[in-house]
Structure 1
Amino acid sequence: MGGVCCRPTPVDFDGDVTLFHFVLLRCVGKGAFGKVRVVQHKQTKDLYALKYINKAKCVKMKAVPNVIQERRLLEEIDHPFVVNLRYAFQDDENCFFVLDLMLGGDLRFHLERLGSLEEEVVRFYVAQLSSAIQFLHDNNIMHRDIKPDNILLDERGNAHLTDFNIGLKFSEKRLMGVAGSMAYMAPEILTKRGYSYQIDWWSLGVCAYELIFGRRPFRGRTNNDLSYSITKDPLKWPEEAEKKCSRPGMQVLKGLLERDPTRRFGCKPQGEGFQELRRHPWFKPIDWDTLESKEQIPPFVPDGKKANFDASHELEELLLEDNPLKAKTRKANQENFSPEMRQMEEQFTTYDFKKMQRRSYFPHNQQQLISTATATSSGMASSRPGTPAHDLRGENGVSINGHSLELNGGDHDAMRAERMMNEKDYD
């Protein structure tokens, strides 16, 4: 008799996507606004990563424009080496991103575990990421926070770029606002003379150098020291560098870490910079024709028998969470909304990749983008999301727009964020 009231609510899979469409599984990340957890679609059985953002905390931290910006950019993006948006929706408490799941951990996790990576492994990642970066730039999108924390491996070892919460559309106008994680910022950001998409290639160079040598090319014990090093210090190589990196590899690193954006690798207009990079002798082992189809066998395969993230997030969810996530029917009364809550309600729109075409929300790029990607199967997850906030840091690389920051410089309607720099940025 009592069993009748406990029957599960029927799920309308033909209607708009909601949290009722998913089974909530383990928690794998944590941020200031919410958490990241694995979910399974009840109808397709596909696994995804669910990033959810608490609306009240988002408003308190003045992050509403960034959340909406990320939501809009992700709908426009669809690339094999980028974390792709599959669904977006909201309830009364949270905004939800459902993205491709990453099973292999991020490169910060692997770098801290291994100390450094083999040159052939890094070359493979740089090739995949340069393909993703060029796709973004072809669509007038700048990432602005490329770093090992935001590079995710699928279970086969392919690299994916994630976390677009300070990404933005760019035009011919140069930007002035300081944005990104300081240790990976291009010198033109720090000198405040204006910058554009070329900064992403610099950040890729810092990542590649750090992955090969286990340390960053420019360092300082304070913000001022680090800024001076990035803008003034000559590029130096560690002792016995040639044992870790070939001469062609060093040439690519030097080209990416060129302070003059007009001479930096990857930066020539109309895609010529990317083609120049592809032709470099260092990439001779890369079959560019099959790279994006993921036919090549990655040189490093993450250990599938181990969790490539901090398991304490799940324990904390079980023991300490006083308001665990669960699907709830909406009760929102828009008459009582603050302007910020109304903005989220109206502009964080529902998205379902199986029912909708990808499109641009931005006036200077209105072409309709039709997705060619297919849903991830539960056995072949492709990527993992970053966290929604600027000042978060997950342990062992799962959550994670670590210490990125954005100072409102008039480049777009961005959140004001406090500078939260980790000592690791300086060592």
Structure 2
Amino acid sequence: MAQQEIPEIDLAEENRTALVRGVEDGSFKCNLTQLVTGNENPRQQMFKEDTAAAKKIDASILEEAKRLFRLKHAHLAQLLAVGFINDSRYLITALCPWTLEGEMAKARDRSPPAYLNPLVVTDWIIEITDAMSFLHDNDTPHGNIKPNNILIDWENKARVADFALPGKKVRYYI
């Protein structure tokens, strides 16, 4: 069986139809996580005059993304493709519209304050633990687990995101 390669999609406005083809459900509903590879990235900023070093960093990030593309687990944010606009790279993952951080904030901000359903939270803890165990079994430590990195999908299942790739990431929803 041939190994599937990670799609690379140009996210420039004129190529958005490529994104539609790249997302499994045929819509724009996906998460984009920006991999900051421009001058904003402190690791790359020191190489801004050295384009060979900058390209080496970009290549290492793409190699890591290819490795992550092969990781399939029910409770990981599923990587669909790598997108790019000019020199910016993005991970394109299946849409998970909520985060654990957002769910906790909604409960806290209710009047009177509410609590998350303990049965649902127990399920999330089991799902997160299962995903973390899978990552470690595949030599992919997370290193930055926090409520903002736990996504909640349409079926109210927890999915661990932002694992393995170092550096700054910015998540967008489209």
- Shorter-normalised TM-score: what interval? 0.5 to 0.7
- What corresponds to 1:119 in structure 2? 118
Calculate the aligned-residue CA RMSD, in Å: 3.3
Deviation, 1:100, is 1.0
Deviation, 1:41, is 3.4
- What corresponds to 2:10 in structure 1? 18
Q: Tell me the alpha carbon deviations over residues 331-385 of structure 1, each in whole angstroms, 9 at most, x when there is no partner.
A: xxxxxxxxxxxxxxxxxxxxxxxxxxxxxxxxxxxxxxxxxxxxxxxxxxxxxxx
- What corresponds to 1:359 in structure 2? none
What SS does structure 2 have at the residue aligned with 1:124? helix
| Paired amino acid for 2:69 | E
| Higher normalized strand content (fraction of residues) | 2
| CA distance 1:148–1:16, shift in 2 (3 Å) | closer
Paired residue for 2:81, among 87, 102, 107? 87
| Paired amino acid for 1:139 | N
| CA distance 1:21–1:148, shift in 2 (3 Å) | same
In 1, Cα distance between equivalents of 2:104 and 2:8? 41
- What corresponds to 2:168 in structure 1? 389
Deviation, 1:95, is 1.4
What SS does structure 2 have at the residue aligned with 1:98? strand
Aligned residues: 143
**Aligned ranges 1:89-104 → 2 under 5 Å:** 89-103=83-97
- What corresponds to 1:78 in structure 2? 72
Deviation, 1:23, is 4.8
In 1, Cα distance between equivalents of 2:134 and 2:22? 32
- What corresponds to 1:133 in structure 2? 132
What SS does structure 1 have at the residue aligned with 2:90? strand
In 2, Cα distance between equivalents of 1:80 and 1:22? 28
In 2, Cα distance between equivalents of 1:85 and 1:78? 9
- What corresponds to 2:144 in structure 1? 145
Deviation, 1:62, is 0.8
Q: Could you tell me whether the CA contact under 8 Å between 2:9 and 2:84 is conserved in 1?
A: no
| Paired amino acid for 2:70 | E
Deviation, 1:150, is 0.6
- What corresponds to 1:156 in structure 2? 155
> Could you tell me the TM-score, scaled by structure 2's length?
0.65
**Aligned ranges 1:263-278 → 2 under 5 Å:** none
| Paired amino acid for 2:140 | I
Q: Could you tell me whether the CA contact under 8 Å between 2:32 and 2:92 is conserved in 1?
A: yes
In 2, Cα distance between equivalents of 1:75 and 1:118? 33
Structure 2: any 5+ residue segments left out of the alignment?
Answer: 1-6, 45-56, 109-114
What SS does structure 2 have at the residue aligned with 1:81? coil
* Bigger Rg, structure 1 or 2: 1
- What corresponds to 1:41 in structure 2? 21
**Aligned ranges 1:345-424 → 2 under 5 Å:** 389=168
| Paired amino acid for 1:41 | R
Q: Could you tell me whether the CA contact under 8 Å between 1:102 and 1:152 is conserved in 2?
A: yes
- What corresponds to 1:33 in structure 2? none
What SS does structure 2 have at the residue aligned with 1:82? coil
In 2, Cα distance between equivalents of 1:55 and 1:144? 20
Deviation, 1:89, is 4.4
Deviation, 1:54, is 5.0
Q: Could you tell me whether the CA contact under 8 Å between 1:88 and 1:98 is conserved in 2?
A: yes
> Could you tell me the TM-score, scaled by structure 1's length?
0.29
Paired residue for 2:103, among 96, 110, 114? 110
In 2, Cα distance between equivalents of 1:389 and 1:87? 19
Deviation, 1:78, is 1.1
Deviation, 1:57, is 2.5
In 2, Cα distance between equivalents of 1:109 and 1:92? 31
Aligned identity (percent) is 20
| Paired amino acid for 1:50 | L
Structure 1: any 5+ residue segments left out of the alignment?
Answer: 1-14, 25-38, 168-387, 393-397, 400-427
In 1, Cα distance between equivalents of 2:26 and 2:66? 26
In 1, Cα distance between equivalents of 2:151 and 2:80? 17
| CA distance 1:130–1:82, shift in 2 (3 Å) | same
What SS does structure 1 have at the residue aligned with 2:43? coil
- What corresponds to 2:33 in structure 1? 51
Q: Could you tell me whether the CA contact under 8 Å between 2:140 and 2:163 is conserved in 1?
A: no
| Paired amino acid for 1:51 | T
Deviation, 1:133, is 1.3
